[in-house]
Chain A
Amino acid sequence: MTAHAPAAVPGARLKKLVRRNERGNNTRNNTHDGAQRLSPLWTFVAWLATLAFFAPVAWMVLTSFHQEADAATNPPSLFASPTFDQYRLLFSRDITPFLLNSAMAGIISTLLVLALAVPTAYALSIKPVEKWTDVMFFFLSTKFLPAIAALLPVYLIVKDAGMLDNVWTLVILYTAMNLPIAVWMMRSFLAEVPKEILEAAEVDGAGLPTVLLRIVAPVAMPGLAATSLICFIFSWNEFMFAVNLTATNASTAPVFLVGFITSEGLFLARLCAAATLVSLPVLIAGFAAQDKLVRGLSLGAVK
């Protein structure tokens, strides 16, 4: 492995780097622009499949703009007159505190994750510690432990500490949940900082702040953005801890969703409005981070 192999002289390294970049570009050109076109028939199939997968989402959004009476017809009425009533109702029925709790748990835990993960990633890529791959895989292995097995002790500890129904409990748990993902993602981004430039800067006597600001930050910024989006998405969607560790004060958006179903009468349109509303931040974040999504989901293993 390169990590342990003796380093070559800088000149050879630079050549390798240039070669790698060239190879990267070539591959890209050959596969992407040279990609064959789909025949009309297969284009039709592709779009049919796409629309089939998207249909439930479209149905959710469409129904959220209907009156309850129109939402519950059979066969479904596609073209009932649109209304914002359901959204208005949601806010009058106090969805706001739930959204605020979700936002708080999501944003604060993401900031904490970054504060912990960025220095870690630095110590795993730019100035790697000995056996840094072992450290990487330790972080990763914690991600593979099923959360349900931790629920009981976490519940007991949190109860003893008087921290049930407290947003900060969720903040801590979500930080732990996302930290391995962030470490892996940030390492894979920081590894792209060209070593040659770092070495040159060191030779020139640049201090750590200069190196971080001038060389590391520009390369790491898109990675930082993508990492925060992924961490935010996972926190925002988390349900198991939220539903079992909160009651009234600290409940998050998914808990609100399962909670308001119990009401009698027609609720389909309102449910769709709530589902659309709580999914919207993640849909926006996900679309924005589309090209980085796979890297985050595969923990940086796939680019």
Chain B
Amino acid sequence: MTTLTHPPRTASPPARPRKAAGGGKWRRRIPLLPALVFTIVVTQLPFVATLVISTLEWNILKPGNRHFVGLDNFAFVFTDERLRTAVLNTIVLTASVVLISVVLGLGLALLLDRRFVGRGLARTLLIAPFLVMPVAAALLWKHAIYNPDYGLLNGTLNAVYRFFGADNGPTVDWISSYPMPAVVVSLVWQWTPFMMLILLAGLQAQPGDVLEAARVDGASAMATFRHITLPHLRQYIELGVLLGTIYVVQTFDAVYTITQGGPGSRTTNLPYEIYLTMFRKFEYGQAAAAGVVVVLGSIVIATFALRTIASLFREEVSR
């Protein structure tokens, strides 16, 4: 995984500080065995089961008809209209949530990196959306904010219209009219603080002397940002994007609560589609095959994520 070249084992003993010989090696390993075994049993075995199930025709509504079908479920997954929509929705949802939250988070981080009255309080208040339970946040947006009759959005519109002498504002049914943006906005609201925290940490890790030098040399704020801050922030932005992607791809709560994947299947993402296949259509084989595809997709993202984390990690370790 790392690119370092391991020193040939036979040549190493004199250089090694540790006197670990055969027995000592195992003594060192003992503390990590319970966690390793637990993780393998609970997280890896289910995926083996998923792989096996994905090759079966298995619908619990048709008992006694469970048999091996090879790659048929995968053929179904790649040709099914609903699943293709779900893949597309997942990409749209994830990309918009992650990109918008990174941009907003960067803006907020840049502001909070400077001193101003009540900076500490502002930071605390800004974290709050991320700490609200996701299901609670989804319900809050659905009922207290988007509701056409008494939601905050239409209520505020009304108040503004009345303030300017008009009768009433328009009654917009936000969720039916704009289902995907409705879900995206609620998720952006939750994820922006996450991005802000990571980017703020990045900004505060900037070498102060370089910024000082730029200031002394009379570099404009814009030039300083473009040529010093942004390159420095790059790996933090990457980290935010990748971690955000990994979490947001898995979004289930918001879709389940706000739109139930609707109207039609306009907001059905992959996790929700798999859930429907499993618990509404009871097509276990198809659900498992879709699960395998999702895992493969995640591995692609995870490879990049792991590389970014590894580079940050290597920096930390070698310090």
Binding site for B on A (CB under 8 A): 1-4, 6-7, 20, 26-27, 29-32, 34-38, 42-43, 45-47, 49-51, 53-54, 56-57, 59-60, 63, 71-76, 116-117, 119-120, 122-124, 127-130, 133-157, 172-173, 175-176, 179-180, 183, 188, 191, 233, 236-237, 239-240, 243-244, 253-254, 257-258, 261, 267-268, 271-272, 274-276, 278-279, 282-283, 285-287, 290, 293-294, 297-299, 301-303
Q: Of all chain A residues, which has the CB nearest B202?
A: A302
Q: Is the CB of A275 within 8 A of B49?
A: no
Q: Is the CB of B133 within 8 A of A279?
A: yes
Q: Is the CB of B287 within 8 A of A152?
A: yes
Question: Which residues of A have CB within 8 Å of B2?
Answer: 1, 133
Identify which of residues 102-153 in chain B touch chain A, using a CB-to-CB cut-off of 8 Å. 107-108, 111-118, 122-137, 139-141, 143-145, 147, 149-150, 152
Question: Which residues of B have CB within 8 Å of A7?
Answer: 15-17
State whether the Cβ of B74 lies closer than 8 Å to any Cβ in chain A.
Answer: no
A236-B135 Cα distance, complex, nearest whole Å = 11
Q: Is the CB of B125 within 8 A of A53?
A: yes
Q: Is the CB of B115 within 8 A of A38?
A: yes
Q: Of all chain A residues, which has the CB nearest B200?
A: A294
Q: List 30 A-B contacts (CB under 8 A).
A: A1-B4, A2-B318, A20-B319, A27-B205, A31-B208, A31-B211, A42-B114, A46-B108, A54-B126, A54-B128, A60-B140, A71-B150, A73-B150, A74-B154, A116-B34, A151-B275, A237-B134, A240-B253, A254-B135, A258-B257, A268-B147, A271-B139, A275-B136, A278-B133, A286-B127, A290-B123, A297-B197, A298-B239, A298-B243, A301-B309
A143-B309 Cα distance, complex, nearest whole Å = 13
Question: Which residues of B have CB within 8 Å of A140?
Answer: 306, 309
Question: Which residues of B have CB within 8 Å of A6?
Answer: 15-17
Q: Is the CB of A299 within 8 A of B133?
A: no
Q: Is the CB of B294 within 8 A of A146?
A: yes
Q: Of all chain A residues, which has the CB nearest B162?
A: A75
State whether the Cβ of B89 lies closer than 8 Å to any Cβ in chain A.
Answer: no
A74-B151 Cα distance, complex, nearest whole Å = 8
Q: Of all chain B residues, which has the CB nearest A113?
A: B35
Identify which of residues 218-254 in chain B touch chain A, using a CB-to-CB cut-off of 8 Å. 236, 239, 243, 246, 249-250, 252-253
Q: Is the CB of B208 within 8 A of A27?
A: yes
A116-B17 Cα distance, complex, nearest whole Å = 27
Q: Of all chain A residues, which has the CB nearest B3?
A: A1
Q: Is the interface of A mostly helix, strand, loop or mixed?
A: helix
Chain B, interface residues (CB within 8 Å), range: 35 or more
Q: Is the CB of B49 within 8 A of A294?
A: no
Question: Which residues of B have CB within 8 Å of A143?
Answer: 246
A32-B257 Cα distance, complex, nearest whole Å = 42
Closest approach, in angstroms, between the C-beta of B52 and any C-beta of chain A? Answer: 9
- Known contacts: A2-B318, A75-B159, A120-B35. The answer to whether A30 contacts B208 by CB under 8 A is yes
State whether the Cβ of B32 lies closer than 8 Å to any Cβ in chain A.
Answer: yes
A144-B302 Cα distance, complex, nearest whole Å = 6
State whether the Cβ of B43 lies closer than 8 Å to any Cβ in chain A.
Answer: yes
A112-B206 Cα distance, complex, nearest whole Å = 37
